Amino acid sequence: MKTVAASTLTLILLVVGLLFFPGGKVNSQEQGRNIYKGPLNPNRPSPGKFRKGYGTPVPGEYNVYLRKDIPSEQVKAIAQEFVDKYGITIINSDRPDGGIWTVLIKGFAAKTSESVAMKISEDPRVDHVSEYVDFSSIAEPKQPPPSPSTRPPDDSLNN
């Protein structure tokens, strides 16, 4: 009886293991988060961790997103390292936070050339670099004001 119970338990664990860990690998979103799965816009292919987006890109402006496991205390030093190494300019560096994001997202916005942005994306501490996109160009157009009513005036108001 113990052998049957042990065999049944082993079979159940094996089936559960295959469902949740196919191929012996952990099946989680975290595992594949750095895998580039194709361009956001098929007309503009994106190599590696450098991403082009929808809308109208602002020339020479890029968002640099660091990996989530980078300690917040190191983000400013990494940004300064890129300034020194590549000559980039941190956008909003005159603000109290220095234009550095350290709370929900770790990274910064930079002014630089596309070739330098691509080089920065190759750094192992960088999750990805994306073009800064002006979303106002893809927003719905404003509706024209309604035309005045063509209804004849109500004579009952004049009495």
Same domain for 55 and 107?
yes
**Is the pLDDT score of 3 beyond 80?**
no
The domain spanning residue 74 has which CATH number? 3.30.70.80
Percent of the residues in the chain that have a pLDDT greater than 90, as a whole number? 39
Instruction: Give Rg (Cα) of the chain.
Output: 27
- Tell me what pLDDT residue 58 has: 87
Same domain for 6 and 61?
no
Mean pLDDT lowest for which of 21-30, 59-68, 77-86, 150-159?
21-30
Give, to the nearest 10 degrees, the angle between helix 114-121 and helix 72-86: 140
- Tokens representing 76 are 């400013």
Same domain for 128 and 88?
yes
Those residues with Cβ within 8 angstroms of residue 55's Cβ, 6 or more apart along the chain or in another chain: 133, 134, 135, 137, 138
Q: What is the pTM of this model?
A: 0.57
3-state DSSP: the chain helix, strand, coil percent, rounded to 5? 30, 20, 50
**Is the pLDDT score of 10 beyond 90?**
no
Same domain for 129 and 60?
yes
The reply to whether 74 falls in a domain is yes
Overall number of domains in the chain: 2
Higher pLDDT, 130 or 152: 130
